[in-house]
Amino acid sequence: MKYRLKVEVSLKPSHSDPEGETAARLLRELGYKVEGVNVSKAYNILIEASSREEAFAKAEEMCRRLLANPTKDNYTIVVEEEK
């Protein structure tokens, strides 16, 4: 079975996000009433797994082993069955 993993890796709230701050400044200069911007990275991963649970477990493992830095990143995982 194929599953699509949607993994979003964002900075923990206590860490500064210069890319988000720059985007916020530029948007304000363009006239938008922006209070704040956070930028994160979204991975869309197509994977073979035997069940949704296995796909989710693999996504968590991928985050711990490669995609996220436990010191500075949070991550969220959504698993969708691929048609």
User: For binding to a second copy (CB under 8 A), which residues are involved?
Assistant: 2, 8, 10, 20, 23-24, 26-27, 30, 32-49, 58, 62, 65-67
Give residue 59's identity as a one-letter amino acid code.
A
Q: What minimum distance in Å lies between the beta carbon of 9 and a second copy?
A: 9
Q: List, in order, residues 6 or more apart from 24 with CB less than 8 Å away.
A: 34, 36, 37
Q: Which is nearer to a second copy, 39 or 71 (CB)?
A: 39
Q: Which is nearer to a second copy, 67 or 77 (CB)?
A: 67
What does the angle CA 37 – CA 42 – CA 44 come to, to the nearest 5 degrees?
A: 160
Q: Which is nearer to a second copy, 30 or 71 (CB)?
A: 30
